[in-house]
Chain A
């Protein structure tokens, strides 16, 4: 139970909190550990800001504004126990001040300046099964938003703002076994981990926020006057592991109800429901969805995007509900944060922040992409409460994977687009159309030069950054390509364009080599791995597998092995059971890449026998002769190679002239393998992974090969490259 009062100027908050805790472990509980996340921004010596200044985290700027420092001080911390719950302390009710013995700890980096974890020794252990209550008071200094928490002008987003218990969990044998607190410090790379609880939060706010407040859970009271110029709200929610709230006097509030029956009458969803029912052998009841009250808090400039948000949310509620079980909460709040608040794209229980901009094209996934992604987190983070510090991929990877699946199921695909300044242009420059770092800047993207001599000598680019000049330089209507962008392939492209071998996937988020390695290993690689596993394992086993994982781990804190166990269970009897089992640690533990390719294909005409035959007087010379077209015979070979470290069998498919394609599997263990077709018709082509299952393969450009090349397509692209080059070069010609 929390009561919080925000000061009129929005720069401080006073709160009181009662935490009721029952020791559900078999061991006595001797101490508490509390997260005080906002102390991560207390000073530039605190771990979060110190890591930020070293270039970790999402923010690029190293400087911290004076008003971006924050603080949370616990000013009172009292243990109040009913006598019956704490036999050893006999009195009927005790109230012990715990603050004097409390101390900050830094379990991750030993940083003495970090105050994001408070350790509170208990005067008497709480016995297994016993309960205790703790009363806290705390003061918050509210910062200019740092990492999606704080204020911007009078926009407020309060996330991870409460003193919050860590998670009391059974340690792995490697970590010493037994039970203990899992309470990491607040880090620039990485997110959170909390225990499920019931929240009852009363907010006392300045009157200007009346009717413009959103929070985790249901509003059970308010808005009600709480004093002159003040307004009060009360929200409650069970079974969530955090509580966030937001307020902005400028919000445009739109409410709509997601009606489960109506959603399921959609033929697409009805068909999917039948498919999942059959695949996972589920009852109709297990596939029921629940009605949800959805509140959209929009910025006025995005008011015309309400329908797009609602569709994204309703589609997500439907598809995710069918795949992973119904969304169990009665409410969902979607927040469109204020411009420049940096609060876009974040998930909290029953509350998500979206990401949008003015006038998005109807052909792109803005705002849908972020809204769907953050909703998917309601499952992989919210309901399946994995440890975001230690296994970021279990929430971000699964969520990224689900985002692609929902977007594909609901919308199909979006389109390539580029932002020039603040304006969106459909399509991307021809030679940077791929997401590979939008990498052709180094080829025809002469923008990298801009022009080089001036950039180097004057210390700033002459033309870069100006949208009109960039437009004139690129002339998008001549040099851009607007193509479809399938979500799954876009995710794979994100994976490939990163640095897949820079780091291994399964490590603490704050221990990754850098922000790029975090994004690669928390988001793109696991998502691509899941798409790969989906294709390898196939339906219906994959549907069953994911469903079982999601349902069995609901309101729990799964670890990677919990997922692997489910995978191993569901691949029993699969033709690639052993290989898939061996693939799991290669992907999820190692940093190797999967890369198979066709090194060469050859098909040579077999010569008819010629030369001497026989011996002595019987020796005769056979003259070389040209075989007739009908008797021509070819020796063909296909050389496959493994350029990556990850080993997995690959299928080879090849076609001889006039014949049907044939397939053979290579175990992929050696560095190369030669498929010889000693005799037969001429080889036309060969390809590996013909069903495109191995999305994890980092280079698809060498997965096919033809014996006789065809230059027409390459000639056309080369001419397009010439046009792009000329267009870019004309800017230099125009500098006179």
Chain B
């Protein structure tokens, strides 16, 4: 287990050294977010010009004026949908690149190889993602849809949580259901990640077969797979927590060029952490699936 956690950590550190790759990914993320952020920036700018002490313009000093500004910030849903889809596609491409670097020893860790792998495996990974999504949707239906409602009805006569006998019981129910959903979702993502690694190693094209392999590997060694993924996830969240203090510090006090720049760097760092820990997860999972071959 410790070895697997070390693999995740090592994979993350290695990915952090590949600055060309995550730089490319960061640029892509920024490009995707721009349609959302630019209108917000314009509205902020306009609002800022309407404040006398504009460098202080913040929630803390002018909550009410801030409140009044927000209704003016709105985007059309189609734009949001396009942005969301672009983010989804970028996630698939990035996974393909990192998975290929982790699974193929012959691949040199360069941006060109990363992009090439992302393109090569994109559609196979997309099919896998669809299967994974369908599994998650089914799980959600099971836990939040009719079966869950039927369970609640049988238990307390209604599908409303308010019918449960007390607040602690309701909270326990919500937490249990949520835990199940999270564990199920994590399992689906994990199985599909293992499937991805299999796709790359076996060079196969069948997403269904790949996910079947992923499920089999996950069922054979759930603890090892879980440890590999959890180590990377824990590292990601821990690093993000550290960044959050940075973000908080740069957001408080008067706005200066220095803290605006600092905040921007923190924002980039968040992207780097996400991408490199993703690489770390693939590295650890590659070790698991290598052992299981």
Determine whether A191 belongs to the interface, using a CB cutoff of 8 Å to chain B: no
Partner of A725, one of B37, B49, B257: B37
User: Which residues of B, 165-199, contact A by the 8 Å Cβ criterion?
Assistant: 165-171, 174-175, 177-179, 181-182, 185, 189, 192-193, 196
**Within the assembled complex, what's the spacing in Å between the Cα atoms of A714 and B40?**
9
Chain B residues within 8 Å of A706, by CB: 49-52, 54
Chain A residues within 8 Å of B48, by CB: 709-711, 713-714, 717
**Within the assembled complex, what's the spacing in Å between the Cα atoms of A700 and B65?**
5
Chain A residues within 8 Å of B256, by CB: 712
Chain B residues within 8 Å of A489, by CB: 63-64, 67
**Within the assembled complex, what's the spacing in Å between the Cα atoms of A467 and B196?**
28
Can you name the residue of chain A whose Cβ is closest to the Cβ of B172? A422
Question: B-facing mask of A449-483, CB < 8 A → 1, else 0?
Answer: 10111100010101101111100000101100101
User: Which residues of B, 1-58, contact A by the 8 Å Cβ criterion?
Assistant: 29-30, 32-33, 36-37, 39-41, 44-45, 47-52, 54-58
When A698-B68, A712-B260 are in contact, do A729 and B29 touch as well, CB less than 8 Å? Answer: yes
Check B133 against A704 for contact (C-beta < 8 Å): no
When A340-B161, A448-B77, A468-B179 are in contact, do A301 and B166 touch as well, CB less than 8 Å? Answer: yes
Determine whether A677 belongs to the interface, using a CB cutoff of 8 Å to chain B: no
B114 to chain A, nearest CB (A): 16
B112 to chain A, nearest CB (A): 22
When A701-B50, A712-B256 are in contact, do A496 and B67 touch as well, CB less than 8 Å? Answer: yes
Of B219-227, B240-248, B284-292, the segment with at least 4 beta carbons within 8 Å of chain A is B240-248
Instruction: Count chain B CB atoms within 10 A of each CB in A421, A717, A735 and give the residue with the most.
Output: A717
When A484-B63, A711-B48, A736-B91 are in contact, do A439 and B81 touch as well, CB less than 8 Å? Answer: no
A483 to chain B, nearest CB (A): 4
Can you name the residue of chain B whose Cβ is closest to the Cβ of A357? B167
Check B84 against A454 for contact (C-beta < 8 Å): no
Determine whether B116 belongs to the interface, using a CB cutoff of 8 Å to chain A: no
Determine whether A105 belongs to the interface, using a CB cutoff of 8 Å to chain B: no
Check B178 against A687 for contact (C-beta < 8 Å): no
When A483-B59, A733-B91 are in contact, do A339 and B162 touch as well, CB less than 8 Å? Answer: yes
Chain B residues within 8 Å of A492, by CB: 64
A5 to chain B, nearest CB (A): 27
Determine whether B154 belongs to the interface, using a CB cutoff of 8 Å to chain A: no
Instruction: Count chain B CB atoms within 10 A of each CB in A357, A458, A484, A497 and give the residue with the most.
Output: A458
Determine whether A442 belongs to the interface, using a CB cutoff of 8 Å to chain B: yes
**Within the assembled complex, what's the spacing in Å between the Cα atoms of A264 and B137?**
61
Determine whether A408 belongs to the interface, using a CB cutoff of 8 Å to chain B: no
When A65-B158, A421-B174, A718-B41 are in contact, do A436 and B88 touch as well, CB less than 8 Å? Answer: no
Instruction: Count chain A CB atoms within 10 A of each CB in B36, B85, B136, B144 and give the residue with the most.
Output: B36
Compute the total of residue contacts between A and B using a CB distance below 8 Å: 300
Can you name the residue of chain A whose Cβ is closest to the Cβ of B163? A340
Q: Interface size class for chain B?
A: 35 or more
Can you name the residue of chain A whose Cβ is closest to the Cβ of B81? A452
**Within the assembled complex, what's the spacing in Å between the Cα atoms of A709 and B32?**
28
Chain A residues within 8 Å of B247, by CB: 478, 720, 723
Check B167 against A339 for contact (C-beta < 8 Å): yes
When A496-B67, A713-B58 are in contact, do A342 and B49 touch as well, CB less than 8 Å? Answer: no
**Within the assembled complex, what's the spacing in Å between the Cα atoms of A701 and B37?**
20
A429 to chain B, nearest CB (A): 11
Can you name the residue of chain A whose Cβ is closest to the Cβ of B192? A736
When A153-B165, A483-B59 are in contact, do A732 and B88 touch as well, CB less than 8 Å? Answer: yes
Check B55 against A710 for contact (C-beta < 8 Å): yes
Determine whether B276 belongs to the interface, using a CB cutoff of 8 Å to chain A: no
When A714-B48, A718-B40 are in contact, do A475 and B240 touch as well, CB less than 8 Å? Answer: yes
**Within the assembled complex, what's the spacing in Å between the Cα atoms of A702 and B50?**
6
Chain A residues within 8 Å of B32, by CB: 729
**Within the assembled complex, what's the spacing in Å between the Cα atoms of A706 and B192?**
55
A682 to chain B, nearest CB (A): 15
Determine whether B115 belongs to the interface, using a CB cutoff of 8 Å to chain A: no
For the residues of B in contact with A, the DSSP-based class is helix
Check B56 against A452 for contact (C-beta < 8 Å): no
**Within the assembled complex, what's the spacing in Å between the Cα atoms of A338 and B175?**
20
Check A439 against B71 for contact (C-beta < 8 Å): yes
Check B84 against A734 for contact (C-beta < 8 Å): no
**Within the assembled complex, what's the spacing in Å between the Cα atoms of A435 and B67?**
7
Check B144 against A466 for contact (C-beta < 8 Å): yes
When A339-B170, A460-B144 are in contact, do A712 and B178 touch as well, CB less than 8 Å? Answer: no
Determine whether A493 belongs to the interface, using a CB cutoff of 8 Å to chain B: yes
When A422-B174, A705-B50 are in contact, do A493 and B64 touch as well, CB less than 8 Å? Answer: yes
Chain A residues within 8 Å of B266, by CB: 723
Check A733 against B271 for contact (C-beta < 8 Å): no
B155 to chain A, nearest CB (A): 13
Chain B residues within 8 Å of A718, by CB: 37, 40-41, 44-45
B255 to chain A, nearest CB (A): 4
Determine whether A703 belongs to the interface, using a CB cutoff of 8 Å to chain B: yes
Partner of B77, one of A422, A449, A735: A449
Determine whether A159 belongs to the interface, using a CB cutoff of 8 Å to chain B: no
Check B166 against A339 for contact (C-beta < 8 Å): yes
Determine whether B128 belongs to the interface, using a CB cutoff of 8 Å to chain A: yes
Check B56 against A713 for contact (C-beta < 8 Å): yes
Check A704 against B70 for contact (C-beta < 8 Å): no
B230 to chain A, nearest CB (A): 14
A494 to chain B, nearest CB (A): 10
Can you name the residue of chain B whose Cβ is closest to the Cβ of A475? B240
Determine whether A117 belongs to the interface, using a CB cutoff of 8 Å to chain B: no
Determine whether B202 belongs to the interface, using a CB cutoff of 8 Å to chain A: no
Question: A-facing mask of B137-156, CB < 8 A → 1, else 0?
Answer: 10011001100000000000
Check A736 against B125 for contact (C-beta < 8 Å): yes
When A709-B45, A725-B36 are in contact, do A477 and B67 touch as well, CB less than 8 Å? Answer: no
Check B178 against A340 for contact (C-beta < 8 Å): no
Partner of A462, one of B137, B162, B163: B137
When A431-B70, A478-B270 are in contact, do A469 and B181 touch as well, CB less than 8 Å? Answer: yes
Determine whether A289 belongs to the interface, using a CB cutoff of 8 Å to chain B: no
Could you list 9 further interchain pairs (A-B, Cβ under 8 angstroms) beyond the known A443-B73, A481-B59?
A: A437-B71, A451-B88, A454-B137, A462-B140, A478-B240, A489-B67, A497-B67, A700-B65, A733-B274
A-B contact pairs, 18 of them (CB 8 A): A301-B166, A339-B170, A340-B161, A340-B162, A452-B80, A460-B145, A462-B137, A468-B181, A468-B182, A496-B68, A701-B66, A713-B55, A714-B44, A718-B40, A725-B33, A727-B270, A735-B132, A736-B193
